[in-house]
Structure 1
Amino acid sequence: MSENNAPPAEKVVPLTEEPKEGGGEKGPSKGALKKAQKEKEKAEKAAARKAAEDAQKKQAEANDVSKNDYGELDPFGRHPGIPSNDKVPRVKLAAVAEQFQDTTHAEENDGPHVVFTATVANSRGQSAKLAFMELEQEYNTIQAVVAASDTLSRQMVKFSTSIPSQSRVVVHAVIKKPKEPVKSTTIQNLEAHIKKLYIVCKADAQLPLQVADAERPIPVEGEEEQKGEDDGRPIVTLNTRLNNRTIDLRARHNQAIFGIKAGVAELFREFLKTHAFKEIQSPALLGAPSEGGANVFEVSYFGGKAYLAQSPQLYKQMLITSNFLRVMEVGPVFRAENSNTARHLTEFTGLDMEMELLDETNYHEVVSLLENLMLYIFNGLRTRYSKETDLVRSIYHVEDFKLPEAGKVPRLTFAEGIAMLKEDGVDVGEMDDLSTPDEKRLGALVLKKYGSDFYVLDKYPLAVRPFYTMPDPATYGQDASNPNAGYSNSYDFFMRGQEIMSGAQRIHQAAFLEKRMREHVSPVDPNNPGLKDYVSAFKAGCNAHAGGGIGLERIVMLWLGLPNVRLASLFPRDPTRLAP
């Protein structure tokens, strides 16, 4: 059948339609028409409501006397209310607090005007006309007041309460004296009455960690996150804090910790520079493992292998052979030790020094210098960083660090230390290296007997020290069957019963060095690729010398009484952590 002669197609009738009277085409049902009419009316009402709201908002904006005095800056720091030539100098809150210690000017109705940038710690509205903000800058916090008036709108008050915590703002304010001291801020005798308020960078409303929760002590090791018993605030574990470290570091006590850490390094340099030490920078990449080859990180190096240095020890000594007779270094140290304790890191900062001995038979001249170095650091922390120290210790409560008088640092031989432990009932071997609990116990005994949290343990057993350690001539060779018997010219320094520094007189004659390398408890080959250049350096002649290596993070941890060394590392590295 041709297309023209095909029967007409059957008309498909929608299910929602009903037949019209007379058998004609079917149209929309009454229910569908009614529903459509309701939807139309609803849409018209919504549009009318939005139009009214837009008109009201537009009218409010037009009547907003403060519309140019608040808002969010664009990425280039611009805002319609800020003239392009407006270059008002910014001030520090610390300088404001110092300048207006005498609050006479702040008591005036139109007190001094200042402009400063700050972090919003919190913001709360008291009413539609009044809001309070806590603004933070480094260690300092100040209360800010946003009060509606003829020149400051309610819209601006509302805006101030909408700013998320941790946002960065720039503030134009009048400094005034509050009616009562503000106990919740560090600057208590002043407050900032805001006149202009701009957001420099807005924080997310929901952060993974609140700074206020980071300003509490970490829970005991292994404790799960839970609600605090006293105030219902969450107890945030160390792992959560480290996973969100950039937020965690905003806590004021963390700022203080790293101010102190920088201070220790500065004091270390200051003291040694006044004693004619030259600062060096030794390589961290090695072509072969050194110091016995254990506990080193292997890395890919142009198709071959390289290794991260465990310490600058060998290079310090090589420089002594090069007539760099007093050297110091502040730099990274890498230890591939699978130690998941509260006092171990796989990367830390070493404070190292090495120096010639003016008298090759008296390595204690170096011990005395190191004692004075540590006393200089401790006293410097007391005088220069008391504010930071007090802030951290207000969170991690610890007794004040007890120091001996200059020249009276307790210096015990290893044998004397063992005797003290045995007398106290500790079962310890005469020539065994001390365990961490034994060290802490000895520290408590020293504190009780000498009244000092700082002491030196001298003359360690030769068998527990590295191959380059000078044996004690009084005991070396007495046991023909055991070349590692007896003691050594080596020493460790302790704070609160924990080791912070290991040092010794080093072997300076090539032939004796090779002998000790071969007969050591863990023998090493002097011709090993990682050691042959080191050994060869002594064949050109070398001064007798000694030195030590100090763990910077440990000093900070033990000075402040921190429960974990990771708190003294900006972005700590341990066997399970390589990020952030």
Structure 2
Amino acid sequence: MDDRTYTADASPGDAVTVAGWVHEIRDLGGIAFLILRDKTGKIQVKFEKDEMDDEMVETALDVHRESVISVEGTVEEEDRAPTGVEVVPESIEVIAEADAELPLDPSGKVEAELSTRLDNRTLDLRKDEVKAIFEIRAEALRAVREHFRSIGSTEINTPKIVATGTEGGTELFPITYFGEEAFMNQSPQLFKQLMVGSGLERVFEIGPIFRAEEHNTPRHLNEATSIDFESAFFDHTEAMDVCEGIVRAAYEGVAENCQEELEALGMTEEFDVPDDAFPRLTYEEAIERINATGALDDPLVWGDDLSTEAERALGEDVGSHYFITDWPSEIKPFYIKDHDDDPELSTGFDLMHPRLELVSGGQREHRYQHLIEGFEQQGLEPEAFEYYTKMFKYGMPPHAGWGLGAERLIMTMLGLENIREAVLFPRDRQRLSP
């Protein structure tokens, strides 16, 4: 519709054609109002029954909510209208009639369970507050890409069908690939490492990852979007600097360009861009602080991973984004480099939000023989990863990087209760459709 006017652009005196969904109809006897909604907002259409064509009025009042319509008319100023203007119609066309019974109420007056919303995601996104989440997600990813480019990072796209898993075979989705077994990739980790050994040197990717974890929690997905970074001639501290900059850039982009969306979510007053440097706690300091809170029945000891309860206790104690550094080597993946002066300590780090983990990263092992030994120590067959390991024979520079969960970033940024609210069509143990 070349001549269509968005509702937000309708000004008094304009002759317009507006098109969208029927949000609400109010019949007050001699006068009736239809609220039309499009992507930019809502506008009131006024029907004075005695002065208008009976057929047009009847069409307007009989149409079901959420039907798609087009209205031609003139815009007039009206202070009592929700947006200060209204359309006096000359014609109305019903483009696509909606069923009278809807599986959920897009006006939001009647609440729906999350499962019902996800089953009817198209209708769900007609609600301002739900649409706002995905406008914010899009802006955050745009800001992230812009920041990556500003530091000389090249965007790449790596395979999602692989012969071997990044971290072994325990959490892989197997598929049949022309009669052979293959897997959905858990991470672009090995491929982005190969790229820092190429002429690109510094790369990032935003793409899907697949984890066959049997979790059924508000914070886990089986298909997620990972924001990945890797740079040659970087150590783990420099990688943390970039990670902090990326998170801050996402918040800044949303604060600058998504005020209407934040308002729809009721967050204009409480949305804060993190401006202080993120604290960096060693693993040892982290477990000492967790134990000091008294939140756990059994104190943590060296080598323990951090449970959800431990993360929550530390998050409440710190109160902001923070890093955990210098993890024990034995609980980090084979490709994480150990400290040269202490092989019991790795250069691995996690970025934490007070609610949950956002990022895992570290400096990578770039020395061929040490890499092979790392495979063997974790019970993996180096031969299965020869496409990866052989490139370390041909001049692999020191490098570091990380992976950030996009849905977790949005979930924590907006205070969402369930990570499924931050993804259009979630994939988990129970959900394969839509």
- Under TM normalisation by the shorter chain, which class is it? over 0.9
RMSD across aligned positions (CA): 1.9
Using the size of structure 1 for normalisation, the TM-score is 0.71
Percent identity, aligned pairs only? Answer: 32
The equivalences for 1:467-486 within 5 A come to 467-476=334-343, 486=344
Please tell me whether residue 410 in structure 1 is matched to residue 410 in structure 2: no
- Following superposition, the deviation at residue 487 of structure 1 comes to 2.2
* One-letter code aligned to 2:249: Y
Residue by residue over 1:266-296, the C-alpha shift from the partner in whole angstroms, topping out at 9 and shown as x without a partner, is 1111001111111111011112334222201
- Following superposition, the deviation at residue 132 of structure 1 comes to 0.8
* One-letter code aligned to 2:73: A
Please tell me whether residue 89 in structure 1 is matched to residue 42 in structure 2: no
Which residue in the other structure is 1:430 paired with? 302
Query: What is the CA–CA distance in structure 2 between the aligned matches of 1:257 and 1:156, rounded to whole Å?
Result: 37
Query: What is the CA–CA distance in structure 2 between the aligned matches of 1:138 and 1:436, rounded to whole Å?
Result: 39
Query: What is the CA–CA distance in structure 1 between the aligned matches of 2:145 and 2:174, rounded to whole Å?
Result: 31
- Following superposition, the deviation at residue 373 of structure 1 comes to 1.8
Which structure shows the bigger proportion of residues in strand conformation? 2
Q: Is the 8 A contact 2:68 2:95 kept in 1?
A: yes
Residue by residue over 1:430-484, the C-alpha shift from the partner in whole angstroms, topping out at 9 and shown as x without a partner, is 331111222122111111xxxxx322222122222111111123321xxxxxxxx
- Which residue among 304, 307, 326 is the counterpart of 1:459? 326
Q: Is the 8 A contact 1:337 1:346 kept in 2?
A: yes
The equivalences for 1:372-451 within 5 A come to 372-393=245-266, 399-401=270-272, 403-405=274-276, 408-426=277-295, 427-447=299-319
Residue by residue over 1:310-331, the C-alpha shift from the partner in whole angstroms, topping out at 9 and shown as x without a partner, is 0100000111222320011111
- Which residue among 160, 168, 186 is the counterpart of 2:60? 160
- Which residue among 22, 29, 51 is the counterpart of 1:120? 22
Query: What is the CA–CA distance in structure 1 between the aligned matches of 2:269 and 2:80, rounded to whole Å?
Result: 32
Query: What is the CA–CA distance in structure 2 between the aligned matches of 1:275 and 1:561, rounded to whole Å?
Result: 29
- Which residue among 350, 363, 382 is the counterpart of 1:505? 363
* One-letter code aligned to 1:554: R
Query: What is the CA–CA distance in structure 2 between the aligned matches of 1:113 and 1:277, rounded to whole Å?
Result: 48
- Following superposition, the deviation at residue 402 of structure 1 comes to 5.9
Q: Is the 8 A contact 1:441 1:497 kept in 2?
A: no
- Following superposition, the deviation at residue 170 of structure 1 comes to 0.8
Please tell me whether residue 266 in structure 1 is matched to residue 132 in structure 2: no
- Which residue among 369, 373, 385 is the counterpart of 2:242? 369
Which residue in the other structure is 1:198 paired with? 93
- Following superposition, the deviation at residue 124 of structure 1 comes to 2.3
Which residue in the other structure is 2:401 paired with? 547
Which residue in the other structure is 1:318 paired with? 194
Q: Is the 8 A contact 1:404 1:454 kept in 2?
A: no
- Following superposition, the deviation at residue 139 of structure 1 comes to 4.6
Count residues with an aligned counterpart.
Answer: 431
Q: Give the 3 Å change call, closer, same or farther, for CA 430–387 of structure 1 in structure 2.
A: farther
Query: What is the CA–CA distance in structure 2 between the aligned matches of 1:203 and 1:180, rounded to whole Å?
Result: 29
Q: Is the 8 A contact 1:393 1:561 kept in 2?
A: no
Q: Give the 3 Å change call, closer, same or farther, for CA 90–402 of structure 1 in structure 2.
A: closer
Secondary structure of 1:550's aligned partner: strand
Query: What is the CA–CA distance in structure 1 between the aligned matches of 2:367 and 2:223, rounded to whole Å?
Result: 32
The equivalences for 1:26-105 within 5 A come to 89-96=3-10, 100=11
Query: What is the CA–CA distance in structure 1 between the aligned matches of 2:41 and 2:61, rounded to whole Å?
Result: 21
Secondary structure of 1:467's aligned partner: coil
Q: Is the 8 A contact 1:287 1:305 kept in 2?
A: yes
| Unaligned runs of at least 5 residues, structure 1 | 1-86, 101-105, 183-187, 217-232, 448-452, 477-485
Residue by residue over 1:185-234, the C-alpha shift from the partner in whole angstroms, topping out at 9 and shown as x without a partner, is xxx2222222221111111111222213xx37xxxxxxxxxxxxxxxx4x
- Following superposition, the deviation at residue 161 of structure 1 comes to 1.2
Query: What is the CA–CA distance in structure 1 between the aligned matches of 2:309 and 2:139, rounded to whole Å?
Result: 29
| Unaligned runs of at least 5 residues, structure 2 | none
Using the size of structure 2 for normalisation, the TM-score is 0.94
